[in-house]
Amino acid sequence: MKKTIAASFGVFVVMLVLLIAVVPHLLRGGSGDQKESAGAEGADIVAQNVQNRPECPVADVGGVSLPCLGAQHRAHPKPAVTVVSLWAWWCEPCRKELPLFDELAAKHPEFSVVGVHADTHAANGAALLNDLGIQMPSLQDNNNSFAASLGLPKVVPITLVFDQNGKLISTIPKPFEHYEDLESAVLKNLPATVTPTEAS
């Protein structure tokens, strides 16, 4: 009799443990882990969904090779001057400044004007450029290798000017609100061999 009672009690305990383990899972619909996995996978897909952008005229700036944001590199004649805007999608001063670089490129075809997006969220960067109607091509820097290689301050935006040999000739770690100020800063330290097409 005692053995029967003990066995019954043991079965009861096992059933109780199983109920405690299973019931909460059933109440959640049994798919909590699956939803989390699906969510993470979806985030990865979204992160890789980079909008199309203009092709990049250069792949190497200042000795640093970077992929083109939302496009491929296309071979161009080596420019006399390369003007770089170091920016990030979350940077409000960058958002206000980016259209000025389109204007600089239009008024100075002798320059190669290109951005370097300094953030891992490439999709956000491409989306911002398209939302603003920016035509300037941009390189994508996921690892901050561009700024680290050149020893740049940890801020954005930064405007940089390189000569035909890839030598850094000007670093301007501040935002610009007016085109005239940007153009003046870029022209200030140009090599003597470069003749600007137009100056405001």
More confident residue, 160 or 33: 160
Checking if the pLDDT of 3 tops 60, the result is no
* Secondary-structure breakdown of the chain: helix, strand, coil percentages, each rounded to the nearest 5: 45, 20, 40
Question: What mean pLDDT do residues 76-84 have?
Answer: 84
pLDDT digits (tens, 9 = 90+) for 164-195: 889 999 999 999 999 999 999 999 988 777 77
The three-class DSSP label of residue 115 is strand
pLDDT given at position 151: 97
Angle in degrees, 0-180, between the axes of helices 32-48 and 122-132, rounded to the nearest 10: 50
pLDDT given at position 53: 92
**What percent of the chain has pLDDT above 70?**
72
Question: What mean pLDDT do residues 57-71 have?
Answer: 90
**Full-model pTM:** 0.72
pLDDT digits (tens, 9 = 90+) for 15-36: 544 444 443 433 333 333 322 3
Spatial distance between the Cα atoms of 7 and 30, rounded to a whole number of angstroms: 31
Q: Note the CATH number of domain 52-188.
A: 3.40.30.10
Checking if the pLDDT of 44 tops 90, the result is no
User: Contact at 8 Å (CB) between 46 and 122?
Assistant: no
pLDDT digits (tens, 9 = 90+) for 122-148: 999 999 999 999 999 999 999 999 999
Spatial distance between the Cα atoms of 55 and 170, rounded to a whole number of angstroms: 25
Question: What mean pLDDT do residues 55-61 have?
Answer: 87
At residue 42 the predicted structure's pLDDT band, cuts being 50, 70 and 90, is very low
More confident residue, 41 or 60: 60
* Least confident range of 3-7, 84-88, 137-141: 3-7
44-80: b (≥16 Cβ within 10 Å) or e: eeeeeebbebbebbbeebbebebebbbbebeeeeebb
Residue ranges of domains in the chain:
2-47, 52-188
pLDDT given at position 16: 47
Antiparallel, parallel or unpaired: β 138-140 and 158-163: unpaired
